[in-house]
Amino acid sequence: MNLTKRFIVEPKSKVDLKKRDPGDTAGIKSKRDAAAQLAKNVARLRELQYLLYAESRRALLIVLQAMDAGGKDGTIRHVMSGVNPQGCRVASFKAPTSEELAHDFLWRVHKAVPGRGEIGIFNRSHYEDVLVVRVHDLVPRKVWSKRYRQINAFERILADNDVHILKFFLHISKDEQRERFQDRLDEPDKNWKVNPKDFEERKHWDDYTAAYEAALSRCSTRHGPWFVIPANRKWFRNLAVSQIIVETLEGLDMKFPEPECDLSKIVLE
């Protein structure tokens, strides 16, 4: 089951999210089967992270984007549950500060890129500057329309400096989002998640869909591929993301470095 190939957005292809089923499970029929494979992936990711850290030659950057209630936090919690926190950092990009607004839109993002040997996760990312900025006309079209090219160039720089990039759009339906919002209203232990702004943003669903389709179409490259992950079923979302991360890291052919000294000459007393 090659989920990398199944869900990748091929470079220069035009994405139509209506043609991508958010309820797809790639033939996996039960949550139990998915849970078993997820457990294997989590364990394997733990091993691969250790190797990535030991080798210390490259980094992995994971970008998560979704409509509100799409499951970014849940994906991080389940997929990354086995990694060593010392080698994994999560960055969340909210409304820019006055200092950040005084610089180019990528300034705050570049500072959060993981170092060699690390895994970095962006919970929202630089793509907000061609999503929410576009939907709400926060900057003129002539400004945000240039950012696709600038983002591609930025990610090319990262790739040329051994940062491997995986970008996941967690694809849910509008009906699924409504159910998740309702769940937040109905469940007392989820009331804290309720944000009236999310309900206002829901009114812009079609505009956000168009913005995402443009970003996915224009910014999926060989060095920074996008994956459209069916996310209506949380258990499949977690499996798919974990599987693609494992497949990618295994493809890097990482090796443990040679010891820096002659181990045969070390005598323990």
Report the C-alpha gap between 193 and 75 in whole angstroms.
16
- 265 band by pLDDT with thresholds 50, 70 and 90: confident
pLDDT digits (tens, 9 = 90+) for 73-90: 999 999 999 999 999 999
pTM of the predicted model as reported, rounded to 2 decimal places: 0.96
Report the C-alpha gap between 95 and 76 in whole angstroms.
21
CATH fold for domain 3-252: Rossmann fold (3.40.50)
Report the C-alpha gap between 242 and 247 in whole angstroms.
9
**Does the pLDDT of residue 219 top 90, yes or no?**
yes
Mean pLDDT of 4-25: 97
State the pLDDT at residue 259: 87
Averaged pLDDT score across all residues of the chain: 95
State the pLDDT at residue 75: 98
State the pLDDT at residue 2: 86
Token pair belonging to 126:
């630089």
Mean pLDDT of 120-125: 97
State the pLDDT at residue 261: 85
CA 90 to chain centre: 11
51, 52, 54, 55: CA torsion to nearest 10:
110
- 66 band by pLDDT with thresholds 50, 70 and 90: very high
State the pLDDT at residue 209: 98
Domain regions of the chain by residue span: 3-252
Token pair belonging to 102:
């005084």
Number of H helices, E strands in the chain: 12, 5
Q: Which residues are paired to 64 by β-bridges? A: 123, 168
Determine phi and psi for 78, rounding to 5 degrees: -85, -45
